Structure 1
């Protein structure tokens, strides 16, 4: 996705216009989704116009402001013609519709069609996991997803775990929004989609010898080394990163030197019994918290623990309270 303000370059591409007979014959047709992995934004129109269905291109009806707003807001470096839509996935952008069938006007769709389309769109979002879903049309969004009080902008509720942004309908029939106002709303979404970087929280464990400790964690926990800068080592266990640091380089003490433990590391894996057994076999002390089933607000889970040779307490379970509520 191209950040920043738009450039003034206009498209020179032109495709043949469909005849009135071809437009009329397009009623009920569908257009393939423009979609793929790793999208910054998946735009969802309400449904294709007859003009779009006749051409096979999204937002193709003359007077539709989607492509100018997309360019002016900085999503694309130049103004694309609808027939150049295949360039969008390379920019991290995709297009679909709430309802697939083409009509002359969006108000020809029944509430039942919009609700069914919302279910299909939810499944599509769940499969492709775009960074944002942008629905172009607040009235259709309210009906399709049972959000009667929804307004333009970011939504408090997610769809299939993906953030949702409602944009104005770019149709030329939407007199409430000028191109300038449309562009401003598109730009708000572009800034959010460009800057959204999830926070990563990791822990650094104090150890007397980082390289030696890294070898033990690899043997005992199956850890892989991400990097080693001498005295500080980055490791990963099952995709979860953590660090090892030597006290003289960081101004702290190991648990052994301090004579106490002030932190415990909790890790959640598919088989906690096997995880703990492997650590104990490599020299960890497994007597501190024998593994057993526990009842918690998020359900029954299995958990136990061990102390590694460097004095750190590890708790190992099969269900994390941080993710159990969404399962």
Structure 2
């Protein structure tokens, strides 16, 4: 027969229960697995330099000292809702999903290859881009729009030359239970019209009605380039008429308004609220971006952090959702 506790026992049990609840609340609040609130979306973007000669420590690998290990470490502390990747081998992508799950950060992903003759990328040679989300991605098949403007780009390796099939990879997913389209691209500097194709694919009438859009990638162009007007919703200066519908994570950071990246716009007059500038992401240039559409997001902030594993900075961005209605 189970004894019922006396008053002292009941009080002690109540204290222990309250303490356990408090500890649980703290752990939940501090855990990187805790999803962001409905008004906040967190994005991590990285060009891994996964197989390039300038990053020999990667060489298609995913072990200690590689960009894959770096993503796992930073994602574990930042707790992103979305991760977008460029210059990643298919083998590295699969390893990353497994390693994230091993540290308790299970994510769903979609991958698209832009070429298949990169020796460091294993037997298939597949090398491309990826989007990861905490929520399922439906459908699971890659939503990959190959650019029609290619700049006649080719890649030669191992005595074999292939056409590079760059494109826009998108993942229909959820954040805080709400639909969202998360996309990434790695565009070619000699084919700036690829940014027009991105604009058209992500135009308000081209995505499901009312669906917020996030776009991150290595665009290989700087903020003052005319082609960035296809994405930015605000002008680079007088006379500029952008046609985009996006705000960028670093465009409201005033410390970069007058001293930002080479190729950034200097904004010093009349105290502007935003500037097509920002922290450099590749040497002294800003060529990596995280965008959110202006209809569904009212603002955000971004940070660029340089790690030795890649020749690009890792971007982390937090955007605020506009209230519905």
* Structure showing the higher strand proportion among its residues: 2
TM-score range, shorter chain: under 0.3
Larger relative CO (CA 8 A, sep 6+): 1 or 2? 2
